[in-house]
């Protein structure tokens, strides 16, 4: 039975890698580096047919006869196959979201040159081959998109990201031309010319045809949001349960920030007298006053990358000193975020794919855009002051994503690595922010504690904002009030988060949901082990199972039954969940 499951899992992976060459490159399989994805209706039909066929094969297996590890992978694969069908047939982003296409061409080249997994001449040959397929790719994208269904904000972002591909070609590919023999150089130059023409043609279409006609609603319907929530989080939590937890956590975080602000105020002014029976507005004013002390210690716009490296050194030294987790020794580089990837988040961690033998991890930070006003740049730098940059580095790198993703690549099954849970990944990263302060990071600096609480409140607010936009339909003014007045975010951060919530439904919920579940796992482990609980051992074990949804991590860690998160309340998987 386990051999049969392994065959099905391998078949899924082979079909995935062949059907999406860019994903294969990202995951570390380089057999298809000279190919570019097909994105037409035939390719979508093939994907749905393949998913249905594999679901039928899973249906023939007896769930109880699988090993515990394979039971986890079975449920992950079953969920993924159902999700792939739903993405094509129900969510249908292929017809209304141009961002589905705008990232692929840039990624197809960037992934070939950002890591040295093969000799440069081989990777440049693949660059040339993919560039020659740009006209076909963009034509398929334009044929798939229904212009009137595209939300204007998605069209605007696609316009900006598509321009970034040209910058990528000039900055990443161009400098290598003179390293090639004359004939190879000529071939690559011709391929780049084809790519540039295709990008220009698509840019003209985006600006002159798509943008004027775009009239879609960026908010998902109630049904689609709930379905996407279920597929993305793969958790027992419903949207209502997560929001209820978030609303309570918001009140708790705000009160903790107020109490800490009282402590900071007394430390800075021995004559400080706290207001009796303060109103909510008075509490918020005191919190904001203390946050201003942290904002005053901010880097300059051109020092953000340098400060991130300094933060990496400080956080790494602390993790080693406290021996909080076993650390990988793989290389990590901090880079400015490539232009074709900007417009959604401020930073990300780009670890080597799970199928890559060894590679560099990139911690990418987006600098303030050059067209921002001085006031907007200052708003960004206040939000990402030096203490916030420490916390960003904790989240993205040490001991957050960089540590967890590389441990996942090293310890996970092949299938589980490919089907990693964003909820667990983000949950671990948010958990590490609080854990570092708990362990005395920066010698217990009170302003650092306040900034971390603000970031925790930001994660809580993310989950509330996600539902308020897509389920409640609030406008930008109400969203900005929530983030700026109630969660102490700077204007630029809040404006960017509002855009992000419209562009990436549900993803913002993964931070708080994952954090809640990781904290629950730690509490359960502490209760089970009592005096034998060791923090480093817990962290190492937590990451030893790869990156499945938190419910599976808990089950594997505490030797509980392997149950689909959809059925946790009933305590056992029903027949549908067992057999697919």
For the residues 55-65, what does the mean pLDDT come to?
Answer: 96
When pLDDT is averaged across residues 71-85 and rounded to a whole number, the result is 96
Specify the length of the chain in residues: 580
Pairing of strands 332-336, 361-365: parallel
> To the nearest whole number, what is the mean pLDDT of the chain?
93
For residue 384, CA distances in Å to 311, 347, 377, 388, 452 come to 12, 11, 10, 5, 12
Q: pLDDT value at position 349?
A: 92
Look at residue 346 in the predicted model and tell me its pLDDT: 81
Contacts with 68 (C-beta within 8 Å, 6 or more apart), sequence order: 556, 562
Spell out the residues 6+ positions from residue 433 whose beta carbon is closer than 8 angstroms to its own.
Answer: 391, 394, 395, 400, 452, 455, 456
pLDDT given at position 572: 35
* Confidence label for 35 from pLDDT (cuts 50, 70 and 90): very high
Q: What pLDDT sits at residue 568?
A: 42
The rounded Cα 411 to chain-centroid distance in angstroms is 21
End-to-end CA distance of the chain: 15
* Cα dist from 208 to 188, 211, 216, whole Å: 30, 6, 17
Residues in Cβ contact with 333 at an 8 Å cutoff, skipping those fewer than 6 apart? 360, 361, 362, 363
Contact status, residue 5 vs residue 73, Cβ threshold 8 Å: yes
361 forms bridges with which residues in the sheet?
Answer: 332
Would you state the structure tokens that stand for residue 159, as one six-digit string? 């316009």
Indicate the DSSP class of residue 351: P
pLDDT class of 284 with cuts at 50, 70, 90 = very high
The model's confidence at residue 275, banded by pLDDT at 50, 70 and 90, is: very high
pLDDT of residue 353: 87
Check: CB of residue 106 under 8 Å from CB of residue 163. no
Instruction: Render pLDDT for 482-534 as a digit per residue (tens, 0 to 9).
Output: 999 999 998 888 998 999 999 999 999 999 999 999 999 999 999 999 999 99
Confidence at residue 357, expressed as pLDDT on a 0 to 100 scale:
66
16-30 residue pLDDT tens: 999 999 999 999 999
Nearest partner of 243 among 22, 468, 469, judged by Cα: 468
Cα distance between residue 162 and residue 402, in whole Å: 28
CA–CA–CA angle 243, 245, 250 (5° rounding)? 90
- Residue 530 and residue 184 in contact, taking contact as beta carbons nearer than 8 Å: no
Q: Report the predicted TM-score, pTM, of the whole model to 2 decimal places.
A: 0.91
Q: Are 402 and 332 in contact (CB under 8 A)?
A: yes
């Amino acid at each position: 039975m386990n051999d049969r499951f392994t065959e099905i899992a391998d078949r899924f992976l082979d079909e995935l890698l062949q059907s999406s060459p860019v994903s294969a490159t990202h995951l570390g399989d380089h057999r298809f580096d000279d190919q570019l994805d097909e994105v037409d209706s035939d390719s979508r039909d093939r994907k749905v047919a393949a998913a249905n066929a594999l679901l039928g094969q899973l249906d023939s297996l007896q769930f109880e006869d699988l090993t515990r590890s394979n039971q986890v992978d079975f449920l992950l694969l079953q969920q993924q196959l159902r999700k792939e069908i739903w993405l094509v047939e129900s969510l249908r982003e292929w017809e209304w979201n141009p961002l589905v296409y705008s990232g692929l061409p840039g990624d197809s080249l960037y992934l070939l040159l950002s890591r040295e997994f093969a000799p440069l001449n081989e990777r440049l040959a693949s660059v040339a081959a993919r560039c020659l397929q740009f006209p076909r790719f963009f034509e398929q994208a334009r044929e798939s998109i229904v212009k009137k269904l595209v939300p204007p904000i998605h069209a605007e972002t696609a316009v900006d990201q598509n321009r970034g591909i040209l910058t990528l070609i000039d900055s990443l590919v161009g400098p290598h031309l003179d390293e090639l023999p004359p004939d190879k150089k000529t071939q690559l130059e011709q391929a780049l010319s084809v790519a540039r023409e295709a990008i220009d043609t698509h840019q003209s279409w985006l600006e002159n045809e798509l943008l004027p006609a775009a009239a879609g609603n960026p908010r998902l319907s109630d049904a689609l949001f709930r379905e996407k929530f279920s597929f993305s989080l793969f958790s027992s939590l419903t949207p209502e349960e997560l929001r209820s937890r978030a609303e309570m956590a918001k009140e708790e975080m705000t009160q903790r920030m107020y109490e800490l602000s009282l402590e900071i105020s007394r430390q800075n002014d021995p004559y400080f007298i706290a207001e009796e029976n303060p109103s909510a507005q008075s509490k918020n004013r005191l919190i904001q006053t203390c946050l201003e002390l942290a904002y005053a210690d901010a880097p300059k716009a051109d020092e953000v990358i340098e400060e991130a490296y300094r933060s990496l050194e400080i956080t790494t030294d602390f993790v080693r000193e406290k021996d909080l987790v076993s650390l990988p020794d793989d290389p990590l580089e901090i880079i400015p975020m490539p232009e074709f990837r900007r417009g959604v988040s401020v930073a990300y961690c780009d670890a080597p794919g799970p199928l890559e033998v060894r590679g560099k991890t990139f911690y990418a930070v987006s600098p303030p855009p050059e067209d921002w006003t001085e006031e907007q740049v200052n708003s960004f730098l206040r939000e990402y002051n030096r203490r916030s940059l420490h916390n960003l580095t904790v989240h993205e790198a040490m001991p957050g994503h960089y540590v967890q993703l590389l441990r996942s690549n090293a310890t996970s099954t092949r299938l589980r690595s490919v089907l990693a849970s964003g909820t667990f990944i983000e949950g671990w990263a948010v958990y590490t922010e609080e854990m570092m302060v708990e362990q005395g990071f920066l010698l217990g600096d009170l302003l650092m504690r306040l900034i971390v609480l603000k970031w925790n409140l930001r994660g809580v607010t993310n989950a509330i904002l996600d539902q308020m936009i897509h389920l409640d339909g609030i406008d930008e003014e109400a969203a900005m009030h929530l983030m700026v007045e109630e969660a102490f975010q700077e204007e630029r951060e809040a404006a960017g988060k509002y855009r992000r919530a419209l562009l990436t439904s549900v993803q913002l919920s993964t931070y708080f949901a994952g954090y809640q579940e990781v904290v629950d796992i730690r509490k359960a482990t502490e209760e089970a082990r009592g005096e034998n609980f060791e923090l480093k051992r817990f962290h190492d074990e937590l990451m030893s199972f790869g990156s499945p949804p938190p419910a599976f991590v808990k089950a594997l860690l505490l030797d509980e039954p392997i149950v689909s998160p959809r059925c946790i309340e009933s305590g056992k998987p029903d027949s549908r969940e067992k057999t697919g």
